[in-house]
Each structure stands twice: as C-alpha cells, then as structure tokens.
Amino acid sequence: MGGKDNPMREIKVDKMIINIAVGEAGDRLTKAVRVLQQLSDQQPVENKARYTVRTFGIRRNEKIATHVTIRGEQALNLIDRGLKITDYEISQRHFSATGNFGFGVNEHIDLGLKYDPNTGIYGMDFYIVLCRAGFRVGRKKRCKGKVGQNHKITKAEAIEWVRTKFQAEIRK
C-alpha cells in the first residue's frame, strides 16, 4: 500500500520566488522591477528595509529590493532556465531541512532577456518551495489540520526530486 504510484506522494512546485536586492531606492530599483516584469509577465512587489544600517547607507522602510512569485508551468520553465545557467549543478547546502531550495544567477541576460544598456545587468536569487497534494490542510483557515511527519518533504527527497526532474548534479 502506498508505493511509488501514490498520487498523494508526488512532489510538485508550489511556488518560485525571484528576488533582486538592489540595496537602494530610486532608478536602479525601478529598472530591477522592469527586469522582473519582463521575465515573469507579472507585476513585482517592492520590499522595504526592516531597519537602518548605517554602514550600508540604508534607512528603515526605504525600498531596497523587489520580488515576484511565480506558480505553475511558468515556474518550472524558469527553474529549468536558471539551472541551465548553473550547468545543472547545485550544492547540497542550497537545500533546506523542509525540502525547499534556492540558487543565484549573476546576470539576468543569461535567462534569455535582451541586454539593454539603459537597464544594466542584475543578479537575482531563485527560491523554490516544494509541496505535495494535501499541504493546504495546514494553511487553510477553516478546519485547519496538521500535515503528518511522513507526508512532509525532507531534504533528501527534495534533492532526489531535483536530480530526477532536471537531471541536475548535486555537489556535496
């Protein structure tokens, strides 16, 4: 009972978050928003600084970064394009204990976007959240339940999923 053919045990991508941390408000941030808009065809959200850091020259509540959340087939497509830049190699340290993982890309033009001298080049962080069928039970408001320990995604399962889904090499 409950072998490899169980559809409830199938791992899938819940969402993917792409983050560009510019570190300052103004023109560079609006250009970063434009880059994420071209990449995802969605309107990105701007993030504010939590507290003032004088050495970095940022103030509390100053907009310093932007991110966008992508779901579904488009997320899988962008993960594949992002892993292609890293030569389908990802470190084992990039995986969390809860089965999520992330990696960075140094230049957005490697993802297939045209280079625009006015915009410049931006690096970005990809963070992928994995889930299984039934994870909504723990998130819904009415009749909330708990996801059992056996049903949660482990680090080893996430590594194996990336290895089989994208034929990626996992470094130690």
What tens digit of pLDDT does each residue of 8-25 get? 899 999 999 999 998 888
The whole-number pLDDT of residue 116 equals 83
More confident site: 109 or 125: 125
The pLDDT value given to residue 109: 82
pLDDT, averaged across the chain = 90
What's the pTM value of the predicted model, to 2 decimals? 0.87
Q: What's the rounded Cα separation, in Å, for the pair 107 and 6?
A: 40
Task: State the pLDDT at residue 3.
Answer: 58
What value does the mean pLDDT take over residues 133-161?
A: 92
Dist CA 127 CA 103 (whole Å) = 7
- Closest by CA to 89, choosing from 160, 161, 167, is 167
Sequence-ordered list of residues with C-beta below 8 angstroms from that of 147, at least 6 positions apart, any chain: 134, 135, 137, 138
Q: What is the DSSP letter of 86?
A: T
Contact 100, 106 (CB under 8 A): no
Q: Which residues contact 81 (CB under 8 A, 6 or more apart)?
A: 111, 112
Q: Confidence class of residue 94 from pLDDT cuts 50, 70 and 90? A: very high
